Amino acid sequence: MILDGKIPSGPLPEKWDLRRAEMKLVNPANKRKYRIIVIGAGLAGSSAAASLGELGYNVDVFFFQDSPRRAHSIAAQGGINAAKNYPNDGDSVERLFHDTIKGGDFRSREANVYRLAQLSCGIIDQAVAQGVPFARDYAGYLGTRSFGGAQVSRTFYARGQTGQQLLLGAYGALLRQVKLGTVNLHPRTEMLDLVVVNGEAKGVIVRDLVTGAIGSFAADAVCLCSGGYANVFFLTTNSIGSSVNATWRAYKRGAFFANPCFTQIHPTCIPVTGEHQAKLTLMSESLRNDGRVWVPKLKGDQRSPEEIPESERDYFLERRYPSYGNLAARDVSSRAAKEVCDQGRGVGPGGRGVYLDFADAIRRLGADTIRERYGNLFEMYERITDENAYNRPMRIYPAPHYTMGGLWVDYNLESNVRGLFVLGEANFSDHGANRLGASALMQGLADGYFILPYTIANYLAETKPGVITTHFSEFIQSREEVSAFTNKLLSVKGKRTPAEFHRELGKLMWNNVGMTRSEASLKEALQKIPALREEFWQNVLVAGAGMKLNQELERAGRVADLLEFGELLTRDALQRDESCGAHFRVEHRTPDGEAVRNDKDFSYVSAWGYQGDGREPELHKEPLAFENVDLAVRSYK
């Protein structure tokens, strides 16, 4: 099937206005008759739920943590982009649009990206009004900094905790609605199925993580804001509870999964130390503003960094990408780091690390300025590694961080299943094959504050409220299936824990479907994943019972889904026989190691449709048309 993104006609800058003008509205008096379910309470979920509540809808928000303020958006450090052009350095909506399209290596929709750039400025204003304490200069104006993939300074920040402050802003707006009675929170609750009635999303089946009870909830529309799936790689910067289950269960109910192979490996993470590590920690990319990345020129150089003279250091990003230098896009920087380590020039235990050196910046600006800019990051680094980065360069290495792929949505953020809206990292829409730094917060909030409230009205206006109830057979059946799934996990009583399977899957995905991919590595993964999945269902050991708090059971359910999802990701990587953005196929590279895109054959969104367990999913395509940008070779040289 050729998918239709329902992009409005008309010139690019006017598309969103045109769409807003043609969309239907819900009469204010009728809004309270509608119920909307929101899954996830991060930036996308909280901003959407708060905005919908303000408009007068009834909203139910489900999340697995004990409070919306825990959602993993909170961990975003560096900042949020907006085309304000406050520094007068040549920024504009047009330029942010171009940078994002180019950063995504021309695999995203022009219209979506343009709208994102247009909405970016309003997000900053909204956050300021909520009391987000963005950095200010001495005259009291908002400060900005530069981020990877951009030559202007458009990233707004609140120390190294921008995600935290933006989430707390949205959280305040959300709790205000809770107090006003429009929003109901369901903490410690995990979505385990989407209920589709007559082809439209009308509810969810959830598990109460405290009592173990399985519950059914009906609504007039469902919004998934459940984040990304990087945890398929096990060791990532994502939180422990982040997983694919909400989007995966929706996929199994008919929603298409788009571009799952577009997974971002972040260049500046603290390197892996050992087998029992549960996750990795990111150091904000903003550090690359002042830090210089290097490795020794000599293979296997064991000297400590201060003993290595300038002439024997290879500042490989500055060397390879002179115009962007240490601020080259994330995928490009990550691969460059992997290459120097593969050459045996990596530093630290296991040779899997590169230096990020602040000595020059400290000499130039003084340690106080550096402390002011990144103090909390330096502290965090010391806490984890026991090393002081003011005296000794940090060691960093790439790690899985963000996933550009997600459920397919049209321009209105509606999936191919009617009434199912997907926001933030959970959808695929704006970042193409690679996301630029400081754009995730921007997208999550644009979706939640400024897009969904309009587009969902257009759907609801054609829907009679409250028709579907949990007594419908679809709810009863789905609930039974969820209970059966849980019981099945508990009844295997094998020998290996869910964590062991997760670790093994993660290693396999990282080695075969990670930063670089080849036909052979992908085909091997396609053999091994089903085998591992089979072993899981014969040999997993899930302690405890179903009808009570059981963290092992939660973990087992998430791993079971990842074991299915990993195969789809790999299949997508195999079918995309080109290199683009974060998706790097070794068969397609220039002699000096840069990605080679194939626009003739792969300028499309791949959207996979579930066909039943054990059957190959069906590939649908949405062709990407570029009318306003030239498909150029992406270069940071």
Partner 1 sequence: MNLTLYVWRQEDRNDKGRLVQYEARDISRDVSFLEMLDIVNEGLVKKGDDPISFDSDCREGICGMCGQVVNGVAHGPRKKTTVCQLHMRHFKDGDTLYIEPFRARAFPVIKDLIVDRTAMEKIIESGGYISVHTGGVPDGNAVLIAKRDADAAMDAAECIGCGACIAACPNGSAMLFTAAKVSHLAMLPQGRIEAGSRVCVMTEEMLKQGFGNCSNHYECEAVCPKGIKVRFIAKLYREFIKAKGNL
Alpha-carbon span 325 to 498, nearest angstrom: 42
Residue 54 and residue 29 in contact, taking contact as beta carbons nearer than 8 Å: no
Which residues within the stretch 374-413 sit at the binding site for partner 1 (CB under 8 A)?
379-380, 383-384, 386
Please report how close the Cβ of residue 485 comes to partner 1 at its closest, in angstroms: 20
* Smallest distance from partner 1 to CB 295, Å: 22
Q: How far is the CB of 9 from partner 1 (least distance, A)?
A: 26
* Residues near 129 by beta carbon (within 8 Å), at least 6 away in sequence: none
Pick the closer one to partner 1 by CB: 349 or 466: 349
Write the DSSP string, 144-200.
Answer: -B--TT-SS--EE-STT-HHHHHHHHHHHHHHHHHHHTSEEEE-SEEEEEEEEETTE
- Least distance (Å) between residue 417 CB and partner 1: 26
Residue 86 found at the interface with partner 1 (CB under 8 A): yes
Closest separation between CB of residue 184 and partner 1, Å? 12
Does residue 276 bind partner 1 (CB under 8 A)? yes
Distance from C-alpha of 221 to C-alpha of 200, rounded to nearest angstrom: 8
Cα dihedral 232/237/243/246 (nearest 10) = -120
**Quick one: 50 or 529, whose CB is closer to partner 1?**
50
Binding of partner 1 by 94 (CB under 8 A): no
Give residue 419's identity as a one-letter amino acid code: G
CB atoms within 10 A of CB 6: 13
* Interaction residues for partner 1, span 209-268 (CB under 8 A): 210, 239-241
134 part of the interface to partner 1, by CB under 8 A: yes
* DSSP for 273-285, written as a single string: --TT-----B--G
* Contact (Cβ atoms closer than 8 angstroms) between residue 165 and residue 133: yes
Q: Is 51 in the site for partner 1 (CB under 8 A)?
A: yes
**By the 8 A CB rule, do 183 and 120 touch?**
no
Place of tokens 């429009």: 182
Strands 214-218 and 406-407: unpaired
Question: Please, which residue, 66 or 534, has the CB nearer to partner 1?
Answer: 66
Strand-pair partners of 540: 496
- Is the four-CA dihedral 454, 458, 460, 461 of positive or negative sign? positive
The residue range among 271-279, 303-311, 337-345, 423-431 that interacts with partner 1, by the rule CB under 8 A, is 271-279
Does the protein bind partner 1 through residue 278 (CB under 8 A)?
A: yes
Identify the residue among 27, 388, 538, 551 touching partner 1 (CB under 8 A). 551
Contact flags string 182-201 toward partner 1, x per CB under 8 A? -----x--------------
Q: What are phi and psi of 435, to 5 degrees?
A: -95, 140
Q: Are 40 and 445 in contact (CB under 8 A)?
A: no
Q: How long a stretch of residues is the chain?
A: 637
Binding mask 416-455 for partner 1 (x = CB under 8 A): ---------------------------------xx--x--
Q: Is there binding between residue 589 and partner 1 (CB under 8 A)?
A: no
Does residue number 142 form part of the binding site for partner 1 (CB under 8 A)? yes
**Continuous segment of H or E residues that includes residue 545:** none
Return the number of the residue (51 or 289) whose C-beta is nearest partner 1. Answer: 51
Q: Is 368 in the site for partner 1 (CB under 8 A)?
A: no
- Residue 26 vs 574, nearer CB to partner 1: 26
Task: Figure out which of the listed residues 108, 112, 126, 182 binds partner 1, where binding follows CB under 8 A.
Answer: 126
| Distance in Å, CB of 380 to partner 1, minimum | 7
Contact between 582 and partner 1 by CB under 8 A: the answer reads no
Minimum CB distance to partner 1, residue 17 (Å): 15
Site for partner 1 in 476-505 (CB under 8 A): 495, 497, 499-500
Binding of partner 1 by 54 (CB under 8 A): yes
CA 239, 80, 332, 317 torsion: positive or negative?
negative
